[in-house]
Amino acid sequence: MLIDPKVKKLDIFNGGGAIVEREIKLSLNQGINKFEIANVPASFNPNSADITLDYIKLEDKEYISLQQTIVSLPDRSNSNQIIDREKSAANSIISYAIDFTREMREKVSSICEASSYRTYADMIGTFDFIINAKREGEIIVKINYFVSDIRIKWETTLNVNIDNDNKAEIEGFIVVDNQTAFTYDDVDLGFAIFEIPADTNLSYPPLNAPNAEPVYFESEQAQQALPRKMMKRTQRLKNLML
Amino acid sequence: MKANVPTRKKIKLNWFKSKCNFNIERKVNIEYNAASTTYNKQEWDVIVKYIFVKEGEPKDIPPNSPMTIYKNGLPFLFLTTTATIGNKIISEEMIDDDISVDDDIVQIIEGKPEITFEDALKPKEHIEVRTRYDKIIRKISIENKLDNEIDLILDFKQTKDVTFIKSDPLPSEIETPNHIYNIKIPSEESFKITLEIQAKIVKRVTKIKPEFIKILKK
């Protein structure tokens, strides 16, 4: 049976990716119950897929159990071929359309934009599970998986209003950027940080590093060209011209 | 925090709003090598960073988060964060283009060279090592082009070939090899430091040993 469990929680990483937690209440028949989860992106990590059963009645624990989960990702080359065909079809719609009234234009552009942004990660992955029930009953199923897609991420922006007495007011905002093809409605959001050191690739070894090659300077220009850490320059607002 | 996250959209959520204290740290690091002590003119960069100490519970802000500083309701400076330590939010370090540091040569007093010899690769040759200690006087002028008074730390660091003799004014703090000056400069004014340093100049010349020169003449 195809089911579409509601996304309850979404823990997003600032470096890209998210942990999705979905939940659904299911009625089970006696015997083998096979379920297929809808709207699982192909960017999900099959190894991270996890299912837990929450028993509504405690005595069901003896009679209802998770038999197995089945996960797979769509074939990459076939998916890419389909995406390419979709993109060329979208281009053709734009090229050969005769009349673009206002309503039509918006509809066409939304279809074409969706297809032009589509990637393999927007295709649908397979995440099935089988529950073995020795008697009829109801159960809550929690589904967790990690979405490895850098197009869903978060960042903060800070606004600071300063006055002349070294006092300020700081305001923090979280900006969630979801460029995937999936929508998450009314979800509990969590935000996780991956520490990525800033400008690590721009630092130079110290001048007098042990075993370093001696540095000889022949001109003053050479001294000015001493390796320094690349840094941004201040650009302060000086005046407002009215 | 509950929200809708639509496809191919960005959403902005309010996170926190609180009062904070802030201070601006400015620093200029000066360090010479034997060659650069004699340059006619040098320019040094003033490094500036903003430190905000917010009230209320600490918030973990990812490094490289964009930050806009507003003054009198207008955006004044765009920068990013580097780290948060508890309630402290530290901005990235930037070069302050409104403070200029010019470093000019005043005088060089050459010392007497001491000559020693080292073995060369060829047995008939030796290396003449001429070591002399020069006294160099340099004048550092720091100009504040901003419309407010600034506090600045100038840190002169000795190196293996360049040592500190004296300065006018004297350093506020000496923690060898660092000589630190705590400087206050009013708006649109400048501050000058005269620095007297000693540089070890070593020159090496490979020569034929004298006894072999005579043989050649014969």
**A138 and A99, same structural domain?**
no
pLDDT lower than 50: segments of chain B: none
Report if residue B8 sits inside a domain. no
**pLDDT value at residue B148:** 87
**A116 and A52, same structural domain?**
no
Residue B124 to residue B209: CA distance in whole angstroms: 6
Residue A226 to residue B32: CA distance in whole angstroms: 11
**B100 and B57, same structural domain?**
no
**Exposed (0-12), middle (13-18) or buried (19+): which is A96, by Cβ within 10 Å?**
exposed
State how far residue A24 is from chain B, nearest Cα, in angstroms.
18
Report if residue A235 sits inside a domain. no
**B126 and B89, same structural domain?**
no
**Percentage of chain A with pLDDT > 90?**
48
Interchain CB distance below 8 Å, B76 and A162: yes
User: Count of A–B CB contacts within 8 Å?
Assistant: 191
pLDDT in tens, B108-153: 999 999 999 999 999 999 999 999 999 999 999 999 999 889 999 9
* DSSP SS3 for B127: strand
**B195 and B102, same structural domain?**
yes
Residue B139 to residue B102: CA distance in whole angstroms: 8
Domain boundaries, position B155: 29-46+96-217
**A148 and A60, same structural domain?**
yes
Report if residue B71 sits inside a domain. yes
What are the Cα distances from residue B68, in Å, to A95, A170, A238, B26, B52?
43, 10, 15, 19, 13
CATH of the domain at A164: 2.60.120
Report if residue A241 sits inside a domain. no
Contact status, residue B132 vs residue B111, Cβ threshold 8 Å: yes
* Residue of A165, A234, A242 best to disrupt the B interface, most CBs of B under 10 A: A234
**A141 and A115, same structural domain?**
no
Interchain CB distance below 8 Å, A169 and B10: no
Residues of B in contact with A147 (CB under 8 A): none
Report if residue A231 sits inside a domain. no
Q: State how many domains chain A has.
A: 2
Report if residue A228 sits inside a domain. no
Query: Which one of A180, A199, A218 terminates a domain?
Result: A199
Residue A228 to residue B187: CA distance in whole angstroms: 28
Report if residue A209 sits inside a domain. no
Q: State how many domains chain B has.
A: 2
* Residue of A158, A188, A202, A235 best to disrupt the B interface, most CBs of B under 10 A: A158
Report if residue A208 sits inside a domain. no
Interchain CB distance below 8 Å, B2 and A234: no
Chain B residues 102-141 within an 8 A CB cutoff of chain A: none
**B200 and B146, same structural domain?**
yes
User: Which candidate from B12, B66, B98 shows the least CB-CB separation from A234?
Assistant: B98
Q: Model-level pTM?
A: 0.74
Residue A132 to residue B95: CA distance in whole angstroms: 66
Chain B residues 152-211 within an 8 A CB cutoff of chain A: 159-160
Residue A38 CB neighbours (<10 A) = 11
Average pLDDT score over residue span A133-158: 92
**B85 and B123, same structural domain?**
no
Report if residue B148 sits inside a domain. yes
**A2 and A116, same structural domain?**
no
Chain A residues 116-175 within an 8 A CB cutoff of chain B: 117, 152, 155-162, 164, 166-175
Which amino acid would we find at residue A148? S
Q: Does A212 touch chain B (CB under 8 A)?
A: no
Residues of A in contact with B48 (CB under 8 A): 234
Token readout for A55 is: 């028993």
Query: Which one of A60, A92, A120 terminates a domain?
Result: A120
**pLDDT value at residue A212:** 44
Which amino acid would we find at residue A48? S
CATH of the domain at B140: 2.60.40
**Which single residue is written with the structure tokens 């993109």?**
A87
Interchain CB distance below 8 Å, A172 and B12: no
Report if residue B21 sits inside a domain. no
Token readout for B6 is: 């639509």
Residue B116 to residue A200: CA distance in whole angstroms: 44
**A152 and A116, same structural domain?**
no
**B185 and B101, same structural domain?**
yes
* Continuous H helices in chain A: 76-96, 102-117, 220-224
Residue A203, φ and ψ in degrees, nearest 5 = -85, 150
**A65 and A135, same structural domain?**
yes
**B152 and B177, same structural domain?**
yes
**A155 and A92, same structural domain?**
no
pLDDT in tens, A12-40: 998 889 999 999 999 999 999 999 999 99
**A162 and A101, same structural domain?**
no
**B171 and B63, same structural domain?**
no
Interchain CB distance below 8 Å, B68 and A160: yes
Which amino acid would we find at residue A128? D
Residue A230 to residue A38: CA distance in whole angstroms: 48
* DSSP SS3 for B82: strand
pLDDT in tens, A57-116: 888 888 999 999 999 999 999 999 999 998 888 888 888 877 677 777 888 888 888 888
Residue A175 to residue A154: CA distance in whole angstroms: 6
**B82 and B162, same structural domain?**
no
* DSSP SS3 for A122: helix
User: Which candidate from B19, B95, B97 shows the least CB-CB separation from A167?
Assistant: B19
Residue B109, φ and ψ in degrees, nearest 5 = -110, 110
| Cβ burial A189-219 (10 Å sphere, 16+ → b, else e) | bebeeeeeeeeeeeeeeeeeeeeeeeeebee
Q: For residue A56, give the DSSP letter.
A: S
Task: Tell me if ipTM is over 0.85.
Answer: no
**B149 and B108, same structural domain?**
yes
**A166 and A111, same structural domain?**
no
Report if residue A242 sits inside a domain. no
**A147 and A86, same structural domain?**
no
Report if residue A153 sits inside a domain. yes
Residue A64 to residue A139: CA distance in whole angstroms: 9
Question: Higher confidence at residue A226 or residue A187?
Answer: A187
**Exposed (0-12), middle (13-18) or buried (19+): which is A20, by Cβ within 10 Å?**
buried
**Exposed (0-12), middle (13-18) or buried (19+): which is B89, by Cβ within 10 Å?**
buried
Report if residue B18 sits inside a domain. no
Cα dihedral sign, A116-A119-A121-A124: positive
Residue A206 to residue B143: CA distance in whole angstroms: 29
**pLDDT value at residue B211:** 85
Q: How far, in whole angstroms, is CA A191 from its chain's centroid?
A: 11
**B101 and B64, same structural domain?**
no
Token readout for B150 is: 């600034």
Kindly report the average pLDDT of chain B as a whole number: 92
Domain boundaries, position A94: 79-120
Average pLDDT score over residue span A124-153: 92
**B142 and B39, same structural domain?**
yes
Determine the longest span between alpha carbons in chain B, in angstroms: 100
Among candidate residues B139, B30, B202, B163, the one with its CA nearest the CA of residue A216: B202
Q: Does B29 touch chain A (CB under 8 A)?
A: no
